[in-house]
Structures are given as structure tokens and as C-alpha cells.
Structure 1
Amino acid sequence: MKYIKTQIPDVVILEPQVFGDDRGFFMETFRVDEFLANCSKRMFVQDNHSKSSVGILRGLHYQTENTQGKLVRVVSGKVYDVAVDMRKSSPTFGQHVGVVLSAENKKQLWVPEGFAHGFYVMSDSAEFVYKCTDYYAPESEVSIRWDDPELGIKWPLVDGELPSLSGKDEAGLSFTAAPKFD
């Protein structure tokens, strides 16, 4: 596994070594010893799996309590995945990392606690799986507007069409109004 630091050093791209032939492929997707050495000294307590259609945008989400670090990957399809630094004390506060994750490139993204996270589906459908360092706590979940001009995220919208959002995400807060971490 290659561990690639991004422009926000706490956010890491994991690129597995894939062994394949005409029968298929094999790859390691997670090793606790390597994760602890290269990403975070955190353990995972919950795994999630979602499926979404083209044009759906989920996020930008985070929890103010039971904060979650997430190790995310795509097992079918392709998404544009984004992590936004919500830590006021960080030199990268308010900045974001965006990366294409797909079943084809097999990359993963480590999104630490203190970040808002979201993804946009670029293929007909996508299955998105992720490990979390804490349990889902809907009462403390926050959603930030996907198109907040202060963040300036360049989402690769399919055919320039606006994304399909949940009601929660349509009512998302501005970055300025959203609660921050110290």
C-alpha cells in the first residue's frame, strides 16, 4: 500500500498494490499496523455501505459529537470525494481536498476527525464503503452547503446539471455559520 499525503497532510490517499491476471485481481484494502503508522492512531468501530445514482451528492457532513474519522473507497462506479478542514487551529482551516475514487483506480481516502466530508456520483451508479472511528450520531450531524462560495469546491458535475440532494443537504449551513472544531 502506498500512503500519499495531500495538500492537507492529515488527509491521506491510500493506493493499494493490485495483483491481477486474466482470472481477476487481489489486493489488501486495510492493514491495521500500516494504517496506525501512516494515517492515524485510531481504531474503527463501524463499517457502512451506500449505493447512489449518477448526479447524487451526499454531504458535506460531519458530527460535532462522536466525531468520525472515515476511511472511504468505491467498490462500484466512480465518485468525486471531498474533505473540508473544519479545525480552526489548523493551518489548512477552510481548505479542502478533492479526489476521484473509483472501482477502477481502487484508491481510498483517509478523512480524519474534524473534517466535513461529501461525495458526488460521476458514474451511472456507485457503491461507496467506509470505515468510521465512532458511531453515527444523527442528533449531532451537521451539513454544509455543497456549493458554498467560501469553500470554492469545483465539483465535476455531469453535463453541468445541478446535483440531486437530500432535504438535509438542501438545508445545509454556510461554511461561516457551521460549527467549527478548536
Structure 2
Amino acid sequence: MEVCETELPGVLEFRPSPHRDDRGFFSRTYDDAVAARWGIVRSDFVQDSQSRSEHAVLRGLHGRGGAGEAKIVRCAHGAAFVAIVDARPESPTLGRHVTVRLDDVDMVSVYVPRRMLVGFQVVGDVADMCYSIDREHDGSEAVQVRYDDPQLGIEWPLPVEQLSARDENASSWADFVHALGIDTAHR
């Protein structure tokens, strides 16, 4: 398994080497020894979840207040365009984003450190997204920022066909940063 660093410090792509033959494939989707070399310990993750979304559905940008939550995200079926926004107040890359395609062909997983926002859009017919998180879910700490906020400049691959009310009414990036008490004028 190869590990690739991204432009956002701490966001890592785990790229497995699937074994394919005429029967199908076999792939390791997580390797504790590889992750440990990057400071990631699987036993730190306390919950696994899965979502299924249809073509062009967009979910996000979602995060968690308080201490945040680290997560490992992968696409078990289908394909999704994933955007990760740095929302760490102390980070020199605050407000920057990286994107990655997660699918059931390459089987890449992405590690997202605490205090980041994540969103995805389904680029195939359907996508099953799997998440491992390092804190129990607490809906009262949920935060969301508009997926189309011009300050973030994320270029989503498809027109959005379906969006939840929560995502439709998400705050702007400026309001989110202001709520964190960050003065971006002096950065």
C-alpha cells in the first residue's frame, strides 16, 4: 500500500494494490502497520458508517465543532468526487482545499485529520461511502459550510441535482470563520 501526502498537511491518500484476475479482485483496504508509520492507529476509530447516494447528489461540506473528528473515508461502490477543506484555525492552509476521486476501481482511502470539512458528489450512478471516525457521533457538534461558497472556489464536476435542506441552508465560509473567532485579514 502506497501513502501519498496531499497539499493539505495531514490529509493522506492510501493507495492499495488490488489483485485482479478473471474471478474479480482482492484488495486490502486498510493496513495497520502502514497507517502507524503516519501516526494513525486503527483502534482510535470508534465508529464506522456508510451512506448511499444517487448520481450528482452532493453532501457537504460537513465537519464537527469542538475538538473535531478524524476520519478515514473510502468509496466501497461507485465513484465520488471528494473535497476536503482545511478548517483548522491555526493552520497556514486554512480555507484551502484538496480534491480526490474515490471509487471502487482504485480503492483509494483518504485520511482526514480533525477540524476539516468534507463534501462529496456522486459522479457515477450511485456511490456507497464508508467512514471511520475517531469520536462518537454527536449531532449537536455538526457544522456545515456551503458547498458552492465562492471564497472556497471548489469546482464540483456536475450540476447539483439533489441537496439536503441542511446543506442548502449551510453557512458561508466567512460566517463559519467569524464564528471560530479567526481574523483572516491578518494572515
- Give the TM-score taking structure 1 as reference length: 0.92
For 1:141 and 1:115, locate their aligned partners in 2 and report how far apart those are by CA, in whole Å: 12
Contact 2:64/2:143 (<8 A) preserved: yes
Cα displacement string for residues 71-116 of structure 1 (whole angstroms, at most 9, x for unaligned residues) = 1111111100111000121111100011111111211111110101
Specify the alignment match of 2:12 in structure 1.
Answer: 12
- Unaligned segments of structure 2, at least 5 residues: 183-187
- Unaligned segments of structure 1, at least 5 residues: none
Aligned counterparts, 1:1-182, within 5 A: 1-38=1-38, 40=40, 43-65=44-66, 67-157=68-158, 161-178=159-176, 179-180=179-180
Contact 2:16/2:107 (<8 A) preserved: yes
Cα displacement string for residues 92-144 of structure 1 (whole angstroms, at most 9, x for unaligned residues) = 11000111111112111111101011110111111111111111111110110
Compared CA separation, residues 108 and 39, structure 1 to 2 (3 A): farther
Partner of 1:77: helix, strand, or coil? strand
> Could you tell me which amino acid in structure 1 is paired with residue 59 of structure 2?
R
For 2:118 and 2:135, locate their aligned partners in 1 and report how far apart those are by CA, in whole Å: 15
For 1:97 and 1:128, locate their aligned partners in 2 and report how far apart those are by CA, in whole Å: 18
CA shift, 1:40, in A, is 3.1
Number of equivalenced pairs: 179
Task: Choose between structure 1 and 2: higher helix proportion.
Answer: 2
For 2:88 and 2:103, locate their aligned partners in 1 and report how far apart those are by CA, in whole Å: 28
What is the percent sequence identity of the aligned residues? 35
Contact 1:81/1:98 (<8 A) preserved: yes
Contact 1:66/1:137 (<8 A) preserved: no
> Could you tell me which amino acid in structure 2 is paired with residue 32 of structure 1?
D
> Could you tell me which amino acid in structure 2 is paired with residue 13 of structure 1?
E
Contact 2:16/2:106 (<8 A) preserved: no
> Could you tell me which amino acid in structure 1 is paired with residue 29 of structure 2?
T
> Could you tell me which amino acid in structure 2 is paired with residue 124 of structure 1?
D
